[in-house]
Structure 1
């Protein structure tokens, strides 16, 4: 779990205050703001600043400080009473991938000062997925420069791309070096999520119950090869008849890919045991936006069992799934994209697409252009339960996924929201009503 920045934060490590003035100027990791405004404010500059910090090295937006560094403190309780989920939702609406932040208040010389800390994104670049007046245009990438946030330069964008490639190359090089040291014939690959160990000659499936008892030793020694890394398994391993192993492999998913996670939903086919493993798999994905309510409905797990599962898992998306449950419990419109009441050309297009979907029209998604495609995807997020023909809409989602998912990161984000909307509408209600 990510450490809380607030708990470790000491403002004296970041700037000096003398005679009620911050003696540092605004720079690439600090921005001063005299007052705090709600993220629903028409001026979306806050979103731009946040995205720029996430694409650089992270940073602080400090509230209650004038541009010249003078401490004036927060003049009201807007920040103190602010619910972070409002800003989280606004950022999800305008940017992908998700931006992580923390908002808190500290006292400095008797002044209440607000701090918005933006974590450096682990999956750069963060890209705007829709337009918000003149400050944000779809596909914008913002970057933090000394004292200002603006659209990224070619050089910095190239650095981000090269950094990602270097990280990937370093990981491969480290893996290859380990393989060369140990010997290919002695290598096995352990999937620590589903317990599958694949070697050059044998395949071992570690049950979930035993997987919880496994202890991994980062540094150890074999007697035969001094200094070679060791893996120690602690638990009672009973021999299993080979025929049972074969039957187990045939009846259950053991390598759960991105495709299986979505396709099981489109086809509405998933056995009870695999459904639980699918939900666990999402906890270790790079996003929590999969049809989790469908998996839950097939797993027969109730809310208590789901809570236990979330508390026992160590996946990087466990907290995100918990937040989804919190935010979606009483919000069936959580994933709605686009406003159809404005009378704009886009609103008319979305309304027309909604009508076609309600009439179960056949739509050729293979040849549709990107803009028209997004009108249909947005239309899906406006459908209500009584307007959905399950067989038809699953076919539409599968068609969109198969033909359009990899067009761009923006389109991918839109499609995920459409899938999650249908999942929430059709299966979320039963989950929240269960005990």
Structure 2
């Protein structure tokens, strides 16, 4: 996007316009703009040095746009999640309401919502194409608005939907939920945004409808595995965006608006000044993508791992990195989200600096090319400020200590429900502790362990007062152990 367009976007956002509405003004058939770009402008991660347009410039742009598009959009651009927009997808034929254009490459119809491979596949397919709507309460084939026959969609917890997407898809699509009434019938709508970092890939299988490693694409009337032509187009689009972003960055550097780092000397140069990074630190500095994968606060962000200080050349010898800034929350969250990390060994080292001894280890150990013996030797060689925590990691690596534990009372009853296939986080937050305690008793051969991870994540997010934090962390460790045990069983 040009600087003028970025300025207009900032002015629109300042007026309180929704991201989707702003995106509508700048996304054209001959130049597709990702909706994520609007989010990046909003949070300042893209072209943050460009100022917002003034009121007169914005008014002139809107007037010109309305004049040029009056015949096409008499009401002006609308968000795909606006009720009026969704209602326009339907039309009444005699006494029955139908989906106006039927199933297209942007609309898929289903009668009822359920957590199924078909729904997750549909979301992935739309995200890999141009985005679109999944309509529930519509009879497949006839495309008539019959209404949903249960309340699963209306009682759907958005965080649970997102947890399932995190478990099964990468990168995770953005999905919005809307409920409307068409002709007296309840219709549920999931709007899926086109993903700016497509292709979205299935991480694991679910029945026969979702296959691990598959890339799905929404074609007219069907969602199926992507064909070579469409996959090539996605790759070419990503390359074009990368070239455009590279050109923009080089322009900023050439104009002095951006800083550069000399990896040989550690010198960082910018228009307003410069600083030096100790040469000894250069090999260990890394930028780890720690995106906001479970909420809708904004696009992924970049966090620097390591303490980098702006210093003069004379002060370099006095500044050193003590340890990487990896928090217990990032250790637990990356496991629950199934994220791969750039330096998994650092996530194990970090655990030796905290009093908490119940944090996942196998998720990170499996990302290393080290044997257990080498890993234990490495940990033993650390000058850890919490030796008890370090020793606990070693005991768990050696198999002499486990998060497994059976409790009586309410946790035992919840555990019985789990073993019977009844898995859901209690609605009463007061029971989170008992729920977490119950997870400690899951056996090594518990088949549905992959479905437990998003439940633990939900517990973690709901424990705002941190009253059950220790129990939840240990529950995550138990899940980590079981997943490792089952993985080892498969490869034996």
TM-score, normalised via structure 2 length: 0.43
TM-score, normalised via structure 1 length: 0.48
* Relative contact order, higher structure (CA 8 A, sep 6+): 1
